[in-house]
Each structure stands twice: as structure tokens, then as C-alpha cells.
Amino acid sequence: MTAAPAWPDALYAELLSAGVKQVAYVPDAGHRRLIELAHANPDLTTVVLTTEEEGIGVLAGAYLGGQRGVLLMQSSGVGNCVNALALPAECRIPLLMLVTMRGEWGEFNPWQVAMGQATRATLEAMGVIVLRADDAERIVETVRAGAGLAFDSGRMVAVLIGQRALGAKVFRK
């Protein structure tokens, strides 16, 4: 068992300083610590979703109501969001998505590869600006840049957190 990485706590602090008030998510192991921290903070509204596209609506509603939010998901959830992205795309509503990657660096489960390899192209096809961090020490600054682009410039932004930074999921054989 290796020590828990430090970046999720720093990422959490970064999101708070960016003014995030709502955290919507479908769980992923890579977001586990961040989800725990969000649930523990009574000043945040944390929304567990049945499917990722719900989060696009939740965050659009949050923005209409004057709050910033963030949507956490695994890359497999990006495909679920496609048509819902018409809402922030047409209304130019800020959107910040943090996407932990599967289906790339050392992936064991071949069923993850199709969506993982299509993640960037899918987001870009819908007009989402894609930033990416492959090293753990770059994650926080990449999210900071993405939050600025989303909230200050009113854009849809996804930050992909590479499987290399997270470590490939280990399956016991």
C-alpha cells in the first residue's frame, strides 16, 4: 500500500478558492478523496448523480442561480454527457469538468479503451476546451487554469487527469 497522494487535498483547496459551491459527481477511484472532502464540507452542496449528463444540467442551474460548480467523472462518463452539453454550449454557461482517465496508460480492462481513447475528441466535438495533466504535480495548476477559463471567460472546460498521474487500476488475478 503506497501513501495517499497529496494532490487531491490541494485540488480541493484550489476549487474552494475558485469559488466552487456545488460539486456534482459520479464516483471514480481517482476522485475518491476529493468526494470525501466535498461531502464533509457543509458549505458545499454535493450531488451524487445517477449518470454524468445530470451534472451538466445541475451546474447550468447552479450558474443561473449565481453559484459556481464542478463536475467530477471518469472518462467513461464523457460519452453520457454529449447531448446535454448543448445547454452550456448554446447559452455560453461556464462549465468545469474534472475527468479522471481510463483506457490509456497501462489499462487492464479492454472495455475502457474505446471511450478512454475517444474522450478528448468527444469533448472537442461539442466545443469543450480540453486541458490535460499527466503528472501529479501539474494537476492543481492545470485545474486553476481551467477554472479561470471556465468562470472568467465563460467557457466549457474539461481537465483530463491522465492515468499516468493516477496510476493504472490494479486488478487482482
Partner 1 sequence: MSQLERRAVTRQLLRSRGDALVVTGLGSSTYDVFAAGDSPLNFYLWGAMGSAAMVGLGLANAQPGRRIVVVTGDGEMLMGLGALATIGVRRPANLAVVVIDNGLYAETGMQRTHTAHGVDLAGIARAAGFAAAETVRSAAELDALERALYAAPGPVFAAIKVAPEPTQIELAPRDGPYLRSRFREALLGNVAHR
Give the interface with partner 1 as residue ranges (CB under 8 A).
21-22, 24, 45, 47-51, 53-67, 69, 83-87, 90-93
Grid cell digits, residue 59: 451546474
Q: Are 84 and 62 in contact (CB under 8 A)?
A: no
Residue 103 phi/psi, 5° resolution? 75, 25
Q: Closer CB to partner 1, residue 7 or residue 155?
A: 155
Distance between first and last Cα of the chain? 17
Q: Closer CB to partner 1, residue 84 or residue 140?
A: 84
Q: Closer CB to partner 1, residue 12 or residue 25?
A: 25
Q: How far is the CB of 85 from partner 1 (least distance, A)?
A: 8
Q: How far is the CB of 173 from partner 1 (least distance, A)?
A: 34
Q: How far is the CB of 166 from partner 1 (least distance, A)?
A: 26
Grid cell digits, residue 145: 487554469
Q: What is the CA radius of gyration of the chain?
A: 15
Q: How far is the CB of 110 from partner 1 (least distance, A)?
A: 27
Q: Closer CB to partner 1, residue 69 or residue 162?
A: 69
- Write the Ramachandran bin of 69: left for phi over 0, alpha for psi from -120 to 50, otherwise beta: beta
